[in-house]
Structure formats: C-alpha cells, structure tokens
Amino acid sequence: MTVLAALKGPHIDWAGFSPLVALAGGAIVVLVVGLLRPPAARERAVPGLTLATLAAALGLVVWQWGERKSIVSGALAVDDLALVLDGIFIVAGMAVVLAAWRAAGPREAGHGEHHALLLSSILGMAVLGASQNLVTLFLGLELLSIPLYVLCASRLGLERSLESGLKYLIIGSVGSATLLYGLALVYGATGATDFAAIAHKLSAGTNTMSLTGIGLVVAGLAFKASVAPFHQWTPDVYEGAPTPITAFMAVATKAAALGIFLRLFDVAFIDAADDWAPIVAVLATITIVVGNVGALPQTSMKRMLAWSGVAQAGYLLGGIVVASDVGARALVFYLAVYTMMNLAAFAVVIARERETRLGDDIEALRGIGASRPVLAWPMTISMLALAGIPATAGFIGKFFLIDATVDGGYTWLGVIIVVGSMVSLGYYLRVIAAMWLTGEAAAAVPPAGERPVMAGGSPEADEAPDPAAPARPHPEVVAVAVLAAAATLFFGIVPSPLFDLARGAAHALGLL
C-alpha cells in the first residue's frame, strides 16, 4: 500500500481541463479521419467533426461557467475571463469552418490537416487565455502561432499565400523571441513564474531588469495584437492568407493576445502600472493614428480591414492602460463585439470573392445594395458598428472604452479614441457608398493577385486565373454574415447579457 501511494500521480481536475481535452482529442480524430480515401469523408465528415468538436468544447465551457479555480498546479485558471475568451475562440472557429467548408484552401492543404491545425490553434488560444504562469503563457502562444503559419500558406497554388505564410513565420518568430527574452528577464528579476508570485515580488519595487523585461513583453505581445509600430506584417499577411484564415486571425488571434495582455499586466504587473501604463497609452495613441491613416487609401477590403484592425487594437489597449475593473470590463465587452463585427465583414468578402472575379477589391461590393441585399446589409451593419455608430454594439463598446479611460485618468486617450473613430468614417462610409450609391461593377476581371504560382513563380502561371474559384457563394457563408450582423445589432440594442459576461470576467482578475 505504501508503494502504491508513492506511485500515485497528481490530482487532475478533469472537469476544469475538459474544454482543452475536447479540442486536443478532436484535433487528433479530425486528422485521422482526413486520411481516409473516400472524398465524402474528407470533404464532409472532417468539417462536420470539427464543428462537433467545437460544439462539444463550447458545451463544456458553459458547464464550467461560474467556476473560479486553478488547474495544472496553478498554471491555468478556470474563471470567467478564460471561459469568455474560450467562447470567442470557439465561435470564431465555427464561423471559419463554415466559411471554408467548400473553399480551395482545405482541399489543397488536405482537409484533415487543415482542420486539425485550426483546432490546434484554438487549443493554443485557450491555453494562452487561461495562463497564469510564464511557462504556460509561452507554450500557449507558440501552440497558437505555429498552426497559423502553416494555415496562412495553405493555398499552395497562390504566390501571395506562400508569401503570407513566410512573412508571418519570420515576424512571428521575432515577436516570440522578443516576448521570451522579456519573460526571462522578469523571471530573473523576480525569481518566479507564477503571476501572483511575480506581483508579490514587484510590490516591493521594480528595478532595471524587471522594467526591461516588462518592456520586451509589451513589444512581444504587441506583435501578436498588431499594435503599432509592431504592425508592419499585418496588411500583407491578411491580404495573402486565405480569407477564412484572415478572418480567424483578425478576431481570435487579437482576442487571445489582448486577453493575456490583460491578465498578465493587470495581475502580475499591476504594482508596476505607474511605469508601464503611460508607455502603453502612447502605443495606443500611435496605433490609433497609424491604423486609421493607413486604412484611408486602401482599395483591397482585406488590407483595409487589416489597417482597421490595427486602429481597433489601439482602442482596445485603452482598457488595459487604466488597470481597473472598469477597463477590464470594457476590454472584454469590446473583444466580443469586435468578433461579431469582423466576422460579418469577412463573410461578405468571402461571398463576393466567389461571386465575382474581382477578389477582395472594393469594386466587388459596388452596387450590391440592389442586387445582393442579403450581403449588403451585413456589410453595412459591420461598417457602421466598426465606426461606432449608435444602435450597434460597436457604439456601446467604444463608449464603454472611452468611459474607462476617462474614469482611469486618461481623458486625453478617450479624446484620441473619439477622433480616431471620426477619421475611420472616411473609409467605412466609402464601403457603404460603394454598395448602395453606385451601379454594380462588371465581374469579368480576374481577381487581383489571385493567380496560381508554379515552381519558380513563372510569368505564365501568374497570368492564369484561379480555376478552383466557385462562381457563386454558398449558403453557409451567407448565414455567417447574417448571423454575425444580427448579433451586432442585437447587442447594440440589448447589451446587458454581454455586460454581465464582461463583469464576471473582470471580477475574475480581482481588480478594484
């Protein structure tokens, strides 16, 4: 009996661990099913199993709702913040699976491999969002990032997709190395990897090593969140990646990066807020200016939404800067809203890529208010919400963020958010005008850049159109656009359910 007691393993809270187990197990099952020879197994069973995995993980997240506990020896938290973030990742994953159901990317890369990588990335996001230890933080970040490097390059026949994957790999590696060096310096200064222990050490005061480490951590997370001046990769990678993957990166990756930014800085580094908050506020200001100015001249919808995402990251940093309960609530609320707004916009872009030969150019949207209102309305709602127009969830979210910055003593940052939102009308309203105030464009022009590439990138291949592009959109893509736009409107009129979720997530951090 003594020997058996000595060999007994550590206690594992399988209930708290269950959403991660579901994602990991589902990724393995999807990968194995993708190896089957029948086309129906690859093209239908694999996406169906992926959706079933995500639905099971979402159900387990709901099952754990209201828990406040730590698992894996305190390395991961099971609390409302982690569970809200998990919900965002899973919903974004479901939307992307539907949007890519009959796309060329999964077919070229392999359905099993494509969907297994997607589930692995969501698993990494879930680990990252729940991390309360420097080791699991970095593990989650890499598990999130490595599958995305591959997914960005999954359109093997397109030069832009391969370029996108390579750029994201190089810049992402630089960001990861910067973050890791910063985490190492924080560990060296405090002698701890647990967030609570780091906070206890920093409460006695900071030194050069700890401040340098915090600065490098800011830079490393800024790469992932597309915060200026660490944003240079974003427009090129977003434009070149398959559009469903771009949509996933735009919402889920940003939510993961800002979610751990919130937990790390408002828990581990909270006692050093007087040192890092002014720097993050300056970064937020630069990001808002750069993102809005960069978006103004864009004609590619994916590039415009990339620059818009940079500006939105600046708004979201306002919730972190104030290091308060109000700021955390504002950030979590806006992350949920941001997911809905962007999924609606990207779904419409995907639909028009399939309807026309104009790719993601804004010309593809010209005149669809009359010919395709089922697509025009979701895009209109998305653009108005991103601009912060009343009666949309985007307005409530920005108002919440502005209120948090003013309440936290950063009134000038709140003014910058207002001014940035006013400037953003210049490119959001241009999209709406193209849809409703002009005639429909001809669709016979080959989509810019959507040309296959042969080994060596021959000019002959560059001149050929993509033969795999379907002629019409599919109902699942339209459904994603309509549902996301409807949610954007609903939570703009009835925001209280999201307010409750955000309040619980903020309370999990123990902020005042």
Give me the tens of pLDDT residue by residue for the chain, a chain 512 residues long: 455 555 566 677 788 889 999 999 999 999 998 888 777 777 788 889 999 999 999 999 999 888 888 888 888 988 899 999 999 999 999 999 998 887 777 777 778 888 999 999 999 999 999 999 999 999 999 999 999 999 988 887 778 888 888 888 998 899 999 999 999 999 999 999 999 999 999 888 878 899 999 999 999 999 989 898 888 888 888 988 889 999 999 999 999 999 999 999 999 999 888 899 999 999 999 999 999 999 999 889 999 999 999 999 999 999 999 988 899 999 999 999 999 999 999 999 999 988 888 888 888 899 888 888 899 999 999 999 999 899 899 999 999 999 999 988 899 999 999 999 999 999 999 999 999 987 665 543 444 444 444 333 433 333 333 444 444 557 889 999 999 999 999 999 999 999 999 898 888 887 65
Residue 457 is assigned to a structural domain of this protein: no
Domain ranges, residue 223: 13-442+469-507
Per the DSSP assignment, residues forming a β-bridge with 452 are: 158
pTM: 0.90
Per the DSSP assignment, residues forming a β-bridge with 69 are: 78
Tokens describing residue 367 = 């005149």
- Specify whether the CB–CB gap between 316 and 334 falls below 8 A: yes
Question: CA nearest 215: which of 190, 181, 244?
Answer: 181
Residue 6 is assigned to a structural domain of this protein: no
Look-up: residue for tokens 């894996």?
A: 72
pLDDT of residue 320: 92
pLDDT of residue 42: 75
- Rounded to the nearest 5°, which phi and psi values hold at 229? -90, 25
Residue 377 is assigned to a structural domain of this protein: yes
Q: Which amino acid appears at position 171 of this protein?
A: I
Distances, alpha carbon 197 to alpha carbons 8, 79, 162, 189, 512, in Å: 28, 19, 43, 12, 19
pLDDT of residue 439: 67
Helix (H, G, I), strand (E, B) or coil at 70: strand
DSSP run (H or E) holding 271:
none
pLDDT of residue 4: 52
Q: Quote the number of domains for the chain.
A: 1
Check residue 454 and give left, alpha or beta (phi > 0: left; psi -120 to 50: alpha). beta
| Rounded Cα–Cα distance for residues 360 and 239 (Å) | 9
- Specify whether the CB–CB gap between 501 and 397 falls below 8 A: no
Residue 8 is assigned to a structural domain of this protein: no
| Rounded Cα–Cα distance for residues 340 and 385 (Å) | 10
| Rounded Cα–Cα distance for residues 299 and 201 (Å) | 50
pLDDT of residue 106: 75
pLDDT of residue 9: 60
pLDDT of residue 473: 55
| Rounded Cα–Cα distance for residues 420 and 414 (Å) | 10
Residue 498 is assigned to a structural domain of this protein: yes
Helix (H, G, I), strand (E, B) or coil at 251: helix
Per the DSSP assignment, residues forming a β-bridge with 70 are: 77
Distances, alpha carbon 39 to alpha carbons 43, 110, 151, 157, 253, in Å: 6, 11, 21, 21, 31
Helix (H, G, I), strand (E, B) or coil at 133: strand
Cis peptide before 229 (omega within 30 of 0): yes
Residue 462 is assigned to a structural domain of this protein: no
- Specify whether the CB–CB gap between 129 and 259 falls below 8 A: yes
Look-up: residue for tokens 């996406």?
A: 47
Residue 461 is assigned to a structural domain of this protein: no
| Rounded Cα–Cα distance for residues 81 and 96 (Å) | 23
| Rounded Cα–Cα distance for residues 417 and 427 (Å) | 16
β strands within 11-75, DSSP E: 69-71
pLDDT of residue 406: 92
pLDDT of residue 441: 59
| Rounded Cα–Cα distance for residues 119 and 25 (Å) | 10
- Rounded to the nearest 5°, which phi and psi values hold at 52? -65, -40
Query: CB neighbours (10 Å) of residue 173?
Result: 15
Distances, alpha carbon 37 to alpha carbons 32, 98, 116, 201, in Å: 11, 22, 17, 57
| Rounded Cα–Cα distance for residues 332 and 227 (Å) | 17
